[in-house]
Amino acid sequence: MPKARRKPEALDGQHFEVVVVGAGMAGLASALRLAMFGKSVLLLEKHYVVGGLNSFFARGGRKFDVGLHAVTNFPPKGSGKASPLIRLCRQLRIPFEELALSPQSFSRIAFPDVDLKFDNEFGFFISEVERLFPREQDRFQKLLRTMEAFDAYSPEVAGDVSARSILGEHLQEPLLIEILLCPTCYYGSAVENDIDFASFVMLFDAIFRQGLARPLDGIRRFLNPILKRYEELGGKRRMNLGVKHFVTKNDIVERIELDNGEIIFADHVISTCGVVETERMLSSASQDENADDVSRISILESIAVFKKQPADFGWEETIVFYNDADVFRYERPDELTDPRSGVICIPNNYRYPNGEQMAEGQLRVTCLANYEKWVALDENSYRSQKEICRKAMLEVALGYLPNGNSMAKELEERTELLDIFSPRTIKKFTGHLDGALYGSPRKSRNGSTRFGNLYLAGADQGYVGIVGAMLGGVAVANNRILRGD
């Protein structure tokens, strides 16, 4: 016999069937999914805006996206449900068209002697690999087949297989291995100088086999329909209110203590704050528990807004992953930042419909950064170092854009606004320890913890990026709460 179902009305404002902690991509997706089926859900967010690592902010009268470079997994025409993004839209009952995604122009991976272009046609990417590495042709095809046969989304997948070693088994030219690791690590590796093979396959497909896209008005376009639906369904949301402690008893979370001292109860708890962050919220935890599981990967990102379209500087590309040596370094730098490698994003260069365009030019540059060094700075040096590092990053990055260096002066003159965010900003706004970007190296794919009613969702399931985090949130809601309910 099915269990008697408790109606939400019977809950008194302090007791919910599900409490979802964190209104980032994973939290929003799981909360919506649960509300769709009549669960009483409370979504708690420490910050005053939703989105988490993919939030937005206003500065100088302009609206900016925090994280968004590209929405990955843009489905090739007619790809149907095989595409994770289409699957996600279906699960959230949000028409794909509502996301108003526009595809990229083209992007590049730039190493000292190699400049590989790709766009949203997978065949073009393959032809570029074959043009630059003709001797790898057969081996590369074999690698593609290995990846096709691998179910990266499986809840049972091993999260600790080194992509570097699998690439090494398939390919002979070290440079090609580095070139494949560069974009995949930047878009989702929590470990240094490698990425687990499941995440590699997911990201390779997300970036190359499917493709990159962006809505003209940025991440809000993504967040708004989700919030709207969630609220229409009666889902509850409290902002500016974080969880302080999970109080546990007999292997379950018995109650939740909030930052303002309030106590609430939940049959199920989904935490999207990260595995180590969540453990530290447990009443019994010590504060330096599992410090080894905190990722060493964090970033500095600078945004320049200027009065000119990037294409008028001759810059037509959307994303450039660059590295100044034949070996790709993806590690916490010894200095504040390491400008020698990074990612450029030019959001103007998506193909917006009807020739629409962002009013001003934007250039975003992201490099790896050292969290400890950034937090050790006093306020004055923090401010001045941000500017010094921004300049150093920009100088190198411009070298990877056509005639970039000779445009530097004009770019500076036309710049209207600069913004920069550091590992400190990430920690402050998302609570991720050490300003970590892609969660902990320790992943829990099925979201389980040692507490029967506490599940993890999002980056620390090993589902990376915007689409990944949301699919992870949906999977936890489905498999842990809705199924077998």
Ligand X SMILES: Cc1cc2nc3c(=O)[nH]c(=O)nc-3n(C[C@H](O)[C@H](O)[C@H](O)COP(=O)(O)OP(=O)(O)OC[C@H]3O[C@@H](n4cnc5c(N)ncnc54)[C@H](O)[C@@H]3O)c2cc1C
Q: How far apart are CB 36 and other proteins at their closest, in Å?
A: 8
Closest among 437, 424, 419, 301 to 374, alpha carbons compared: 424
d(CA 368, CA 322): 12
The listed partner (other proteins, ligand X, none) that binds 95, CB under 5 to 8 Å by sort, is other proteins
Residue in the structure block whose two tokens are 């939740």: 256
The total number of residues shown for the chain amounts to 485
438 token code pair: 């892609």
Residue closer to other proteins by CB (options 63, 90) is 90
Cβ at position 31, least distance to ligand X in Å: 11
Contact 125, 208 (CB under 8 A): yes
Given a contact cutoff of 8 angstroms between Cβ atoms, the answer to whether 100 and 216 are in contact is yes
Give the shortest CB-469-to-ligand X separation in angstroms.
3
Beta-bridged to residue 19, according to DSSP, are 42, 269
Least separation in angstroms between residue 454's CB and ligand X is 13
40 binds, among other proteins, ligand X, none (CB under 5 to 8 A by kind): none
Q: Which residues bind ligand X (CB under 6 A)?
A: 21-27, 44-47, 52-54, 67-70, 72, 242-243, 272-273, 299, 301, 426, 430-432, 437, 458-459, 464-466, 469
Give the nearer residue to other proteins in terms of CB position, either 36 or 66.
36
Q: Which is nearer to other proteins, 39 or 332 (CB)?
A: 39
Residue 80 binding result from other proteins, ligand X, none, given CB thresholds of 5 to 8 Å by partner type: other proteins
Q: Which option in ligand X, other proteins, none does residue 483 bind, with CB closer than 5 to 8 A by kind?
A: other proteins
Residue with smaller CB distance to ligand X, 133 or 451 = 451
Q: How many angstroms separate the CA atoms of 4 and 373, rounded? A: 55
Cα distances from 318 to residues 352, 424, 467, in angstroms, run 12, 27, 19
Give the nearer residue to ligand X in terms of CB position, either 103 or 458: 458
Instruction: Look at residues 76, 65, 84 and name the one whose alpha carbon lies nearest to residue 220.
Output: 65
Do the beta carbons of residue 454 and residue 446 sit within 8 Å? Answer: no
Nearest CA to 86 out of 99, 103, 105, 69 is that of: 99
24 binds, among other proteins, ligand X, none (CB under 5 to 8 A by kind): ligand X
Query: Residues interacting with other proteins, by CB under 8 A?
Result: 2, 36-38, 80-81, 86-87, 90-91, 93, 95-96, 474, 478, 482-484
Distance CA 70, CA 250 (A): 44
- Closest distance to ligand X from the beta carbon of 46 (Å): 4
CB under 5 to 8 A by kind: which of other proteins, ligand X, none does 437 bind?
A: ligand X
For ligand X, the closer of residues 175 and 437 by Cβ is: 437
- The DSSP call for residue 318 is S
Listed residue (295, 220, 265, 252) closest to 65, CA to CA: 220
Q: Which of 310/458 has CB closer to ligand X? A: 458
CB of residue 185 to ligand X, shortest distance in Å: 13
H or E element in which residue 470 lies? helix 465-476
Minimal distance in Å, beta carbon 467 to ligand X? Answer: 6
